[in-house]
Each structure stands twice: as C-alpha cells, then as structure tokens.
Amino acid sequence: MFRNARLLLIPLLIGGLACTAASKEIIDPEEAKADPDFAIQGEYVGELTDADGQKHKVGCQVIARGGGQFEMLALPGGLPGDGWKRGDKSFRNQGKLENGSMTVTSDEGITYNLKFADGTMNVRTADGRMDVTLKRVERKSPTLGAKPPEGALVIFDGKKLDMLEGDVKSHLAKDGLVSGVTTKALPNDYTLHLEFRLSWMPEARGQGRSNSGVYLYDCYECQVLDSFGLEGYDNECGGFYQVRKPDVNMCLPPLVWQTYDVDFTAPKYEDGKKVANARVTVRHNGVVIHDDIEFKSGTPGRQGEGPGPRGIHLQGHGNMVLYRNIWVQAK
C-alpha cells in the first residue's frame, strides 16, 4: 500500500518508558493547561501521497510522558475506530520536545523532524523527500450527553444521590462523581450509559495512570485506565480484567469525557445453580469493543458470581477518575 519514501512517516512512532513512582494527579482541564505538554498530546490526522498520486489517510496519537517527553503511535488508515483496526500495522517511537520541535529516528535509521504549532504536527524527513502536516483533532463520543429514555432509572445526574450507597457526598467533585462508589441493586438485565473522565497524570505509568473500573453486576470489571495510545490489553481501558481485551483500543486522551454504553444480561440461576452465563456488549465512545461476549466466571476484585439483583461498583483504585450521566434501562 505504501510504496515510496514520501510515506516514510509510518515507521515513526511508541517505545515504552520505565514505570515511575506516583505522580501529581490533575482533574481540572483548566489547571492542566498550565503544562505546555497538554496542548501537544492528543490525536492527529492527515494524508500521505504515494508515487502514483494516491492519497492515504494516516493517524497519529501523541502521548505525554512528562517533562517534554512524548510517545507517538502512527496508524496507517486513520485513528482507532476511524480507519485503523486491531491487527493493522502501527509504528511506535519516542522523543523529547524542545522549542516546539523534536527529532525522531525510526528503526530503519530514517530521521524525522517534527514541529508542533497551532494545533498541527509537521513531519519532514532530513532529506526533504517527505513533508506532511497532520491536524490535531478532538473526537467526541456520539453518545456523549445521552439523555435517559422514558422509564430509565437515573443513578447519577449531578444531583440525584439516592441510588448510591454509603458516604456519597465525600465522592462529589465539581464536574462529577469521584470513583469508589457502589449503586443500590439494579435490574438483572439492562442497558447502561455512563460517562467518565481520566485524570492528567503524564508522569505516571501502567496501572498507576488514572485507574478505576466499572464492575457490572458488582462482579465483571470493565477496566477504566488512561490507556490512550497503548496496545489495549485486558487490564487496560475497555478490557475485562483477566478475561478479554477490547477489539480496539478506543481510549481518548485524559481529561476528555468518554462513554461506555453497555447491554448487560445477568447470569441465570435455578435452585442455586447457574444455568446460563452472563453476556455483555460494550460500546466505548460509540465503537463496539465487545460484541455479545459470554462470561464463564467473574473477574477478580469484587463479588463472585451468584444470583441477583446486584448493583454496579465504580472502583476506587487510588485515583480520582470522574463519572457522570449514569443511567440504566431495564430490558
């Protein structure tokens, strides 16, 4: 598909950096803007032209790692869920930003000069054979702000708290509900909508980077984590912990509101014996990442399987992940 040096952008881009100790956590986008790296991290899209004059879409995810250090992921075909899919080629690298520019060398020994300005990323090869500009985009979930349909059970709308257990007021923040709360019992089978926002923690790594999770039926954890630009494993955002990785990593950058839309069917029991497994379909930011999958057992961390009804647990894992606009509609 890519046949000449003008398409050499592709071997650019994330080498992993070593894990570090816990770092500062920012939950306010206005506060995060004080960090110059915040304006650089994000998603970029552009077009590359081959030797025959054909244009090809390319996406790039730029991940802030603190102190001007960045990881980058180049995706032929576009961004995840918008042209690129799991199994397609991708290329990773890293670099340090200095005065709005950085130099990156690919595994093939090709040097690229990257310049960031006014929401764009210009990429040039040292020999000048390639010169392409990608534009920074801010994707939003198509279900962001979805209103509960008639008859739906509202769990949290910014004011309503009676469907939550325990000391809920201590979990309230300016923009949402801080992770670490459990709902009261819900219908066994339902459609769930919720929105979450990951914290800005550029110096954190792995499971220390804005960690939470949504325990459906207080039993099956759909992971919530700042996995922007990562591989998309079962312990990363959208994965069912130790059970299944998402079909595509749809995690957006931190401090962007994201959505889970879930179609859940609880396990069935007769005389105390399970006769049917739980099933679930999950859409992350509008893209199906689990399609009618079946659970033979629960995931670690909460209750084991058993008869319902049960609630949903929003895991507190030491980080201040925010949730809002949570509702379910019984099936």
**Segment 228-251, tens digit of pLDDT:** 999 999 999 999 999 999 999 999
Confidence of residue 199 (pLDDT cuts 50, 70, 90): very high
Q: Note the pLDDT of residue 12.
A: 42
Q: Note the pLDDT of residue 45.
A: 97
Q: pTM, whole model, 2 decimals?
A: 0.91
Share of the chain above pLDDT 90, in %: 80
Six token digits for residue 22: 């816990």
Third-level CATH fold of 5-137 = Lipocalin (2.40.128)
Distance CA 167, CA 208 (A): 25
Query: Whose structure tokens read 């019984």?
Result: 330
Least confident interval from 17-26, 104-113, 204-213, 244-253: 17-26
**Does the pLDDT of residue 4 top 80, yes or no?**
no
Mapped onto helix, strand or coil, the DSSP state of residue 206 is helix
Q: Which sign, positive or negative, has the C-alpha torsion 126, 128, 129, 133? A: positive
Instruction: Please report the DSSP string for 21-33 in residue order.
Output: -----B--HHHHT
Average pLDDT over residues 96-121: 90
Q: How many CA atoms lie within 13 A of 209 on its CB side?
A: 26
Q: Note the pLDDT of residue 125.
A: 86
Average pLDDT over residues 20-26: 70
Q: Note the pLDDT of residue 245.
A: 97
Q: Note the pLDDT of residue 240.
A: 97
Average pLDDT over residues 268-284: 97
Q: Note the pLDDT of residue 43.
A: 98
pLDDT tens readout for residues 116-149 = 999 999 999 878 778 899 999 999 999 999 999 9
Q: How many CA atoms lie within 13 A of 160 on its CB side?
A: 12
Q: Note the pLDDT of residue 127.
A: 80
**Does the pLDDT of residue 13 top 80, yes or no?**
no
Distance CA 183, CA 42 (A): 33
Which part of the chain is CATH 2.60.120.560? 153-330
Query: Whose structure tokens read 């960031």?
Result: 116
Residue 246 CA: distances (Å) to CA of 223, 251, 298:
10, 10, 17
* CATH class belonging to 153-330: mainly beta
Confidence of residue 224 (pLDDT cuts 50, 70, 90): very high
Q: Note the pLDDT of residue 175.
A: 94
Distance CA 226, CA 32 (A): 15
**Does the pLDDT of residue 19 top 80, yes or no?**
no
Instruction: Please report the DSSP string for 130-195 in residue order.
Output: -EEEEEEE----TTTTPPPPTT-EEEESSS--TTB-S-GGGGB-SSSEES-EEBPP--SSEEEEEE
Which part of the chain is CATH 2.40.128? 5-137
Average pLDDT over residues 192-214: 94
pLDDT tens readout for residues 144-197 = 999 999 999 999 999 889 999 988 999 999 999 999 999 999 999 999 999 999
Confidence of residue 57 (pLDDT cuts 50, 70, 90): very high
Q: Note the pLDDT of residue 142.
A: 98
81 and 108 Cβ atoms separated by less than 8 Å: no
Share of the chain above pLDDT 70, in %: 93
Distance CA 203, CA 209 (A): 8
